[in-house]
Amino acid sequence: MKYAQRLSQRLSQLALVVGLSLAPTNIGLAQSSNNTVSYSQFLNALKAGEVSSVELYQEQGLAKFRRKDQPEQSPPHQVRLFDRNPELIQLLRQASSRHNTAVRVVPSGSDGAVIGVISNLILGFVLLILFLMILRRVSNAPGGPGQILNFGKSRARFQMEAKTGVTFEDVAGIEEAKEELQEVVTFLKNSEKFTAIGARIPKGVLLIGPPGTGKTLLAKAIAGEAGVPFFSISGSEFVEMFVGVGASRVRDLFKKAKENAPCLVFIDEIDAVGRQRGTGIGGGNDEREQTLNQLLTEMDGFEGNTGIIVIAATNRPDVLDAALLRPGRFDRQITVDLPSYKGRLQILQVHARDKKIAPEVSLEAIARRTPGFSGAELANLLNEAAILTVRRRKPAITNTEIEDAIDRVTIGMTLTPLLDSKKKWLIAYHEVGHALLMTLLKHADPLNKVTIIPRSGGVGGFAQQIFDEERVDSGLYTRAWLLDEITILLGGRAAEVEIFGDAEVTVGASSDLQAVANLAREMVTRYGMSDLGHLALETPSNEVFLGRDLVPRAEYSEAVAVQIDRQVREIVMHCYETARKLIREHRAAIDKLVELILEKETIDGDEFRALVRQYTTLPIKEPAWKATATPAVSQPS
Ligand code: ADP
Ligand code: MG
Ligand code: ZN
């Protein structure tokens, strides 16, 4: 109680000090209160010509003045002014001309600025002291004195799991990788047998694959199957601000691992440390080199038979230092790719095990609709569906939840529909434009649904195709398909122009246009699909800031660059004309569809096609197979 009181007193004193130092008005002017006179006294003195000099502090609403009869050394009188006083100005002017009163206006901020600086300094000082106090507090904490300053001694940042509890059962869809790793399990399980015969055991295995394909899971499963401890650390944790920390962490990690052998050491994101040395990018390069050298030393240091196996994961094997890949280090490389249809189905089955799913939901259909999804995305998809099911108070996950979850995972959360407005009209025409082309173009993947319900991330609506899963899995895109895809992408803008005119087009098509530019350019420069011939003119340039290719290689002259631009433009122009023409010829259908979508917000593929069929003689693109509605890839506007 007493203490609290004293504290609050101290605080209020402190506040007073800070308050004073922060408020410029009070400094130096406020103290001499015995000299303060009233406003009317001041005016009278002015009128009577008794005032020798006046200083006006307008900002502070103060004036200081001296009387003619006042002794030199005595402090000036001061008076509080009122806002904008024309009478005073008038009087001052008179006094200065008639009675020789010296009037000086002190510009605002002249001493205000100085005071501002001073008060900032004081504030800064206070903060510094506070910071120091906190530091001391921390360093005196029970964990031991001075701990916060103890960066150098690696406080081991790796994790150890005695039992991961993950088995090969939990990893689905990557059978080849599992088979290859089976051997590693066998070795970890009974390393003595191998040693007895004198077999050299792989020390390092590199798992290569895109994010979310189950690399971490796989490593855990190996440890789980073999029943050995699992040490893990992420490459990015090696790379610290302070030189030497990474190397000492590596040392610690392997020391602990040796104590616990046989065991498995997992290094995630190894590209963060194992990047090619000497590229000189991204600062902290020395540190990374030290860390990498330490890692190599450690790996060379333990003989193949100490019972430690190092598994590293990366999605960028191309940037790895060659020394890492030498025999005796990560000489086994296993690719973990995005799952194919079969893989997706198996992954879905694994993750459906612990979920209540309605009998009408077909995992096959979901797997077919999700080409290009990683294992992590599939797991996330089922989880989102389960969350939606709980929220909707349903007993089991139905197709509706699956469908909504896919949209949520791929596009974003739904927002409330727009009120009727010009914007809504425009979006409706734009999306129906995309959707119509999906329905009419010969090589296009058919429409799944089109909607004008907005979604997070600035998506006004979208038209969604059912991508052919075989094509996505195989990656074999044909020229005809690419051209139709570009045409579809341009369909939104084309509809805007056709209906609202050139002047009314909006920025809404910008991401469409970006995708068009990329696709068309790749057709010309990478796939040899233009009149320039079957030449790869560029290598993919996404490594600009990593590893080897500092500058994207351009294997052509200026003259060819001009030709490339022309070819790209030609492709885009041609597709755009096709889009415009189809939209113009189906204006009646479009108007009808827009009317419908404004009323219903969403039209599904079948309904859309049925309506278009009444208006056209062209063949309609139907989905090759028909399951409950679950989408694949969409054209957000
Ligand atoms: P990576 O390390 O390749 O980025 P993870 O192993 O961290 O991917 O995968 C994240 C999650 O995704 C896993 O915990 C698991 O739930 C799910 N997952 C990914 N791939 C698979 C797979 N092949 N089988 C089952 N689940 C998977
Ligand atoms: Mg991982
Ligand atoms: Zn669009």
CATH number at residue 55: 3.30.720.210
Q: Active site residue: 269, 298, 431, 498, which one?
A: 431
Q: pTM of whole model > 0.85?
A: no
Distance from chain centroid for Cα 89: 60
**Across-strand partners of 264?**
230, 309
Residues 180 and 132 in one domain: no
- pLDDT at residue 429 above 90? yes
Residues 261 and 346 in one domain: no
Mean pLDDT of 578-598: 96
Residues 473 and 352 in one domain: no
> Among 351, 386, 410, where does a domain finish?
410
Mean pLDDT of 299-313: 78
Q: How far apart are CA 436 and CA 593, in angstroms?
A: 9
Residue 13 falls inside a structural domain: no
Sign, Cα dihedral of 235, 241, 246, 247: positive
Q: Is the CB of 375 under 6 A from ligand 1?
A: yes
Q: Is the CB of 171 under 6 A from ligand 1?
A: yes
Residue 623 falls inside a structural domain: no
- pLDDT at residue 139 above 90? no
For the CA of 313, the closest atom of ligand 1 is: 2
Mean pLDDT of 141-145: 42
Q: Which of 104-118, 219-233, 417-431 has the lowest mean pLDDT?
A: 104-118
Q: Which residue minimizes the CA distance to atom 17 of ligand 1? A: 376
pLDDT band at 68 (very low <50, low <70, confident <90, very high): confident
Q: What share of the chain is helix, strand, coil (3-state, %, to 5)?
A: 50, 10, 35
Residues 211 and 240 in one domain: yes
Residues 402 and 448 in one domain: no
What pLDDT is stored for residue 594 in this prediction? Answer: 96
Residues 348 and 324 in one domain: no
- pLDDT at residue 459 above 80? yes
What are the tens digits of pLDDT across the range 493-515?
A: 999 999 999 888 888 888 899 99
- pLDDT at residue 517 above 60? yes
Q: Is the CB of 371 under 6 A from ligand 1?
A: no
Q: Is the CB of 20 under 6 A from ligand 1?
A: no
What pLDDT is stored for residue 108 in this prediction? Answer: 61
Q: Is the peptide bond before 540 cis (omega within 30 degrees of 0)?
A: no
What pLDDT is stored for residue 159 in this prediction? Answer: 77
Residue 9 falls inside a structural domain: no
Q: What number of helices (H) and strands (E) belong to the chain?
A: 22, 15
Structure tokens at 425: 């009209």
What pLDDT is stored for residue 4 in this prediction? Answer: 37
Mean pLDDT of 131-136: 69
Q: Is the CB of 173 under 6 A from ligand 1?
A: yes
Q: Which ligand is nearest to the CA of 209?
A: 1
DSSP SS3 for 59: coil
Residues 168 and 194 in one domain: yes
Q: Which of 206-220, 248-262, 268-282, 418-432 has the lowest mean pLDDT?
A: 268-282
Q: For 74-79, which contacts have Cβ atoms below 8 Å and span 24 or more sequence positions?
A: 75/32, 75/35, 76/35, 77/35, 77/36, 77/37, 77/42, 78/29, 78/32, 78/35, 78/36, 78/37, 79/36, 79/37, 79/38, 79/39, 79/41, 79/42
Structure tokens at 628: 């409950």
pLDDT band at 34 (very low <50, low <70, confident <90, very high): low
Domain count for the chain, please give it. Answer: 5
- What are the Cα distances from residue 138, in Å, to 128, 146, 203? 15, 8, 42
Q: How far is the CA of 348 from the centre of ligand 1 (A)?
A: 12
Q: Is the CB of 376 under 6 A from ligand 1?
A: yes
Domain that holds residue 92: 18-106
Q: How far apart are CA 513 and CA 517, in angstroms?
A: 6
Residues 364 and 489 in one domain: no
Residue 1 falls inside a structural domain: no
For the CA of 218, the closest atom of ligand 1 is: 6
**Across-strand partners of 602?**
451
- How does DSSP classify residue 420? S
> Among 305, 335, 365, where does a domain finish?
335
Looking at residue 471, which CATH number applies to its domain?
Answer: 1.20.58.760
Residues 301 and 240 in one domain: yes
Q: Is the CB of 217 under 6 A from ligand 1?
A: yes
Looking at residue 406, which CATH number applies to its domain?
Answer: 1.10.8.60
Sheet of 102-106, strand order: 36-37, 77-80, 62-67, 51-57, 102-106
Q: State yes or no: is 431 an active-site residue.
A: yes
Q: How far apart are the first and last CA of the chain?
A: 64
Q: How far is the CA of 425 from the centre of ligand 3 (A)?
A: 14
Residues 348 and 385 in one domain: yes
pLDDT band at 143 (very low <50, low <70, confident <90, very high): very low
What pLDDT is stored for residue 486 in this prediction? Answer: 96
Q: Which ligand is nearest to the CA of 463?
A: 3
Instruction: State which of 167, 206, 217, 316 you would mutate to test the pocket of ligand 1, scoring each by most atoms of that ligand within 8 A of its C-beta.
Output: 217
187 with 261: CB under 8 angstroms? no
pLDDT band at 441 (very low <50, low <70, confident <90, very high): very high
Structure tokens at 186: 């066998």
Q: For 609-616, which contacts have Cβ atoms below 8 Å and span 24 or more sequence positions?
A: 609/439, 609/446, 609/447, 612/436, 612/439, 612/440, 612/586, 614/589, 615/586, 615/588, 615/589, 616/440, 616/586, 616/589
Higher pLDDT, 149 or 304: 304
Query: Taking the CB of residue 508, how many other CB atoms lie within 10 A of it?
Result: 18
Residue 448 falls inside a structural domain: yes
Q: Is the CB of 214 under 6 A from ligand 1?
A: yes
- How does DSSP classify residue 144? -
Residue 622 falls inside a structural domain: no
**Averaged pLDDT score across all residues of the chain:** 80
Residue 49 falls inside a structural domain: yes
What pLDDT is stored for residue 137 in this prediction? Answer: 55
Q: How far is the CA of 635 from the centre of ligand 3 (A)?
A: 6
Residue 416 falls inside a structural domain: no
Residues 186 and 284 in one domain: yes
480 with 445: CB under 8 angstroms? no
What are the tens digits of pLDDT across the range 205-255?
A: 999 999 999 999 999 999 999 899 999 888 877 766 566 777 888 888 888
Q: How far apart are CA 356 and CA 69, in angstroms?
A: 98
Number of residues in the chain: 637
Query: What is the CB-side half-sphere exposure of residue 4 using CA atoms within 13 A?
Result: 1
Residues 311 and 187 in one domain: yes
For the CA of 346, the closest atom of ligand 1 is: 24
**Percent of the chain clearing pLDDT 90 (strictly above):** 35
What are the tens digits of pLDDT across the range 163-190?
A: 888 999 999 988 888 888 888 888 888 8
Structure tokens at 246: 């990474």
Query: Taking the CB of residue 71, how many other CB atoms lie within 10 A of it?
Result: 7
For the CA of 220, the closest atom of ligand 1 is: 6
Q: Which residue minimizes the CA distance to atom 15 of ligand 1? A: 376
